Amino acid sequence: MDILSKVKKSIRGLKAYDPGLTQTKYKLDANENPYDVPAVLKKAILKKAQRIPFNRYPDAATVTLKKNISKYLGVKTENIFVGNGSDEIIEYLMQTFVEQGDTVIVPTPTFEMYRIIGVINGAKIIELPLDKKFDIDEKAIITAVKKTKAKFVFLAYPNNPTGNCFSENKIMKIIESVDCFVVLDEAYYDFSGRSFLKCLKRHKNLIILRTFSKAFSMAALRMGYMIADRETVAAVNKVRLPYNINSLSQFVAVELLKADRTKVLEIIIKERKKLYALIKEKYECVDSNANFIFLKPKTPSKAQKVFEAQSISVRVFTAGPAAGWMRLTVGTPAENKLVRQILKRGV
């Protein structure tokens, strides 16, 4: 049997997502939090978790988790949708609202999964380049939405891989001018302190994504959530697979919402500023609002080899609008010291 002929036409030319990760002693290539959940807290959480009955299905409605997120954010539970990572929520949004051939608009460069999941769901993807300051062209986005009757505009805030927050005024103009969903992916909110959460009540077309992977150090257990109009949440619930969030992830997320992560965030932000101060003196780079820095090494391939020789993994982009640039996760003070030593030599 010719397997390829059976594959959906829309994804035959699609390449599987490759995060480009390498196994090294110091992982600075995936925007992860360099600090695990404190051992004492992890031990206490796992001790409590022993009470979870493994032979029973998880809470399908994620009631307890949504109540805790509701309290944490100050929004109603009816406005919250929980997913197995933000990727799953993006998939559900596409399944709910995108018909074959509908348009999805994304800036470029940005998080690759917006495009990939859109293609998988039969969407036509329009990629609009960022300007020289890595900000969005709101006029081009608005024009494209109206011309194509797009279903979605996806904006990462702060953006990945560039790390900057797009202009708030430009984003507001898009939200107010288009008849489609504007999804603001605030995965790195805790490192920027900037959010459009206060705008949700006034704009039914606004959707905000958040994650437990970054500030809460929960990347291994996959947990993301969406805050949106209750009608949007209700519609997306129609395509949600039953029991999509396992019991352990739900339990751990509830416990971590009670924990104080302020000190960890303060350290990461302080370290980011120290790294940026050095980098901007020697390299073309972007002032970051996230937990990583986007910079342009003199010789990208050489730079990656130099870092890997010190057992440090970094993300070097070899294709697309980010080609020739490198994304460097902010690590621990000790890791960042090694990074600064390499960068001072010039790569």
Digit-coded pLDDT (tens) for 280-310: 999 999 999 999 999 999 999 899 999 999 9
**Topology given in CATH for the domain delimited by 39-258:** Aspartate Aminotransferase; domain 2 (3.40.640)
159-171 pLDDT, tens digit each: 999 999 999 999 9
- Across all residues in the chain, what is the average pLDDT? 95
Please give the Cα distance from 69 to 74 (Å, whole number): 8
> Alpha-carbon distance 123 to 103, whole Å?
6
Calpha distance 155→184 (Å, rounded): 5
State CA 346 to chain mean position distance.
30
Nearest 5°: the CA angle 121, 122, 128 is 100
Task: Residue 82: name the closest of 71, 67, 99, 97 by CA.
Answer: 67
In the chain, where the domains are located: 3-30+262-345, 39-258
The label of the residue with tokens 């039969």 reads 122
pLDDT at residue 21 in the model: 62
How far, CA to CA in Å, does 319 sit from each of 4, 85, 322, 323, 329? 26, 26, 7, 5, 20
The phi, psi pair for 121, rounded to 5°, reads -95, 15
In our burial notation (b when 16+ CB lie closer than 10 A, e otherwise), range 189-205 reads bbbbeebbbebbeeeeb
Q: What percent of the chain has pLDDT over 70?
A: 99
Give the length of the chain: 347
What's the pLDDT score for residue 242?
94
Per-residue pLDDT at 213 exceeds 80:
yes
Alpha-carbon span 345 to 347, nearest angstrom: 7
Q: What is the pLDDT of residue 14?
A: 85
| Contact criterion met (CB below 8 Å) for 175 and 204 | no
pLDDT of residue 347: 84
Tokens of 302: 């050489």
Query: From CA 212, how far away is CA 238, in angstroms rounded?
Result: 24
Question: Rounded distance, CA 306 to CA 227, Å?
Answer: 42
Residue-wise pLDDT tens digits, 6-60:
888 888 888 887 766 667 889 999 999 999 999 999 999 999 999 999 999 999 9
Q: Quick one: average pLDDT of 239-248?
A: 96
What does the pLDDT read at residue 105?
Answer: 98
Confidence of residue 126 (pLDDT cuts 50, 70, 90): very high
Contact between 123 and 169 under an 8 Å Cβ cutoff? The reply is no
Is 3.90.1170.50 the CATH classification of the domain at 3-30+262-345? no
Res. 336 pLDDT band, cuts 50 70 90? very high
The residue written with tokens 């780079």 in the block is 285
User: Alpha carbon 51 to chain centroid distance?
Assistant: 32
What span, in angstroms and rounded, lies between the C-alpha atoms of 60 and 303? Answer: 47
Rounded CA separation 145/223 (Å) = 30
- Return d(Cα 158, Cα 186) in angstroms, integer: 7
Residues 78-88 have pLDDT tens digits of: 999 999 999 99
Considering the chain, what percentage of its residues have pLDDT values greater than 90?
90
Q: What is the mean pLDDT of residues 335-346?
A: 93
* Rounded average pLDDT over 199-214: 97
